[in-house]
Amino acid sequence: MWESFLSAVEKGNSVLNSYVWGWPTIILILGTGLLLTIRTRCLQVRKFGESLNTTIVPTLKSLGKKKQADGRMNSISQFEAFSTAISGTVGTGNIIGVVAAIISGGPGAVLWMWISAFFGMVTNYAENVLGLYFRKKDSKGNLAGGAFYYIAYGLKWKWLAYLASVFCILAAIGMSGVQTNKISGSLSEAYMRMTGAENAEVVKLIVGIVVAVIAAIIIIGGIKRIGKVASMLVPFMSLLFIVLALIAICTHYYRIPEAFSLIFTKAFNFNAVGGGILGFTFATVIKKGMARGVFSNEAGLGSSVIAHSASETREPVKQGLWGVFEIFFDTFIICTLTALMFLTTFDAHYFDALDLTQNGLDSFMSMSMFSDNFGAFGTATFSIILPLFAFTTIIAWSYYGEKAVEFFFGFMKEENRKYPVTVFKVLYVLLIAVSATIHSQVVWDISDTCNGLMALPNLICLVALSGLVAKITKNYFDRKKGAKIEPMLSAYPDLNEEFKQDISGDDQEMK
């Protein structure tokens, strides 16, 4: 009965996915990024240096220095907000997702991931700017924002905002399902390699339960605990992966030119497949690259802005610049290293012999990529890196889903909203355990569909409010040049006045 239910879900999702990730969505994603690029005068290139100098560079310089807590409201530091956001984006999509895109869409899918990321940098920037500009503060001083807030109070389409919150809840569940599924799949694969066992379903279930329990402990602590855990794990796991990937790529340095050649030549493959319609391959390459790109960096989904909106910073543009670096780091560094590591480890003819119908092929090939380069050490390291990548994504998305539930039940009194949030957390944790044993491809496809649904209302709003993004951006940089104009810090007069007082006491804010 369970298998029949999953089969029905798979068929229904397949139909929905074909519409959600059809050409209209792909055009909307690229079109939104292009529009924002034009309206901000190519900010992702023009202000990229400033993005580094005002975000990651001062953060690295301040490591080890204690900062006095901000007593005005319950918030988290800019780096903790960034770490939470990046932990939500840097997950299995950066390793297994990239491998899956190359296997199913060919090496050319990588180019479309880059293209989506280039425009995604300014898309994510716009999300953060609007997220902070329209965020709200409750009676306890907690800051909350996200796509549903700027849709409701910026675009003033409450019905679409509620729809966006529902899609966010579904996407949170789908995203956590993929991460848990890949944790259990990779660890069971490692278990089978080390022990020679043929059936690892019990291992998958045990892994799912352990992940669910640990996640529950962190999730209960809220955004502050999530931010602290993410800020500790993200730098460690990212650095470890970057070092290993560079070693593997350098080991096969002679294949690097061939890898880039495959990426660019296969990105525009118009050949028919199996007697199919001309251009089928080209469409598949774009869709796989775009879907996995959005899955990985989440630009356009309106998800990471939820974490950024809890930041202590009062300047929307400053947090927006974190978003520029976030997408650059996620796709142009982590995903590119994964792609090059995969394409240099296995030669070009290797892909022709793959059985694309094999369940868990993406997990198997990702594991092989590490084991072929580093032997047993690679298998062990992969079994550490992937769960860390996936786990931080799980806890970040629990917060996203929680905030979506709070917004959806906003009509309830503030003290009563904790009940639906509690129900969501319980279901979220239970589904973590359940998804550990589900067929790999089903989980991927459902998550892709949920991501696409979440992106649609967000992208519509970004297009409609693109002029406001440009206006807030100009306001910030004009003030940096010394212009005496009213700061655009919040859409609400009372909060704008409060934030003005805050930044007036910080001489460095406008220097």
Beta-carbon contacts of 18 under 8 Å, excluding residues fewer than 6 positions away, are: none
Taking residues 210-215, report their average pLDDT.
Answer: 84
Amino acid sitting at position 363: S
Helix intervals (H) in 309-465: 316-327, 336-345, 361-408, 418-435, 440-464
Token pair recorded at residue 322: 């974190």
Specify the higher pLDDT residue, 60 or 391: 391
Amino acid sitting at position 264: F
CA distance 256 to 251: 10
What distances in angstroms separate CA 123 from CA 84, 203, 211, 358, one per listed residue?
A: 18, 40, 32, 36
When mean pLDDT is compared over 250-254, 423-427, 505-509, the highest value belongs to: 250-254
Percent of residues in the chain assigned helix, strand, coil, to nearest 5: 75, 0, 20
DSSP code per residue over 44-75: HHHTHHHHHHHTHHHHHHTTT-------SSB-
Q: Which residues of 25-56 are buried (b: 16+ CB within 10 A; e: fewer)?
A: bbebbbebbebbbebbeebbeebbebbeebbb
| Consecutive H or E run containing 201 | helix 201-220
292 closest CA partner among 48, 462, 126, 107: 107
Specify the higher pLDDT residue, 73 or 40: 40
pTM (2 d.p.):
0.83
Q: With cut-offs at 50, 70 and 90, classify the pLDDT of residue 488.
A: very high
Amino acid sitting at position 61: K
| Consecutive H or E run containing 137 | strand 136-137
**Predicted confidence (pLDDT) at residue 414 exceeds the cutoff of 90:** no
**Predicted confidence (pLDDT) at residue 181 exceeds the cutoff of 50:** yes
29 closest CA partner among 443, 329, 327: 327
Token pair recorded at residue 28: 């909307």
Taking residues 171-176, report their average pLDDT.
Answer: 81
Q: With cut-offs at 50, 70 and 90, classify the pLDDT of residue 508.
A: very low
Amino acid sitting at position 364: F
CA distance 184 to 207: 6
Taking residues 240-264, report their average pLDDT.
Answer: 91
Amino acid sitting at position 403: K
Token pair recorded at residue 248: 């593997």
In contact, 69 and 219? CB cutoff 8 Å: no
Q: With cut-offs at 50, 70 and 90, classify the pLDDT of residue 509.
A: very low
Specify the higher pLDDT residue, 277 or 284: 284
Taking residues 144-153, report their average pLDDT.
Answer: 92
Token pair recorded at residue 155: 């675009």
Task: Return the pLDDT at 225.
Answer: 66
Specify the higher pLDDT residue, 42 or 349: 42
**Predicted confidence (pLDDT) at residue 341 exceeds the cutoff of 90:** yes
187 closest CA partner among 450, 437, 393: 437
Domain topology for 7-59+73-348+355-479: Amino acid/polyamine transporter I (1.20.1740)
pLDDT tens for 101-131 read: 787 777 888 888 888 889 889 999 999 999 9
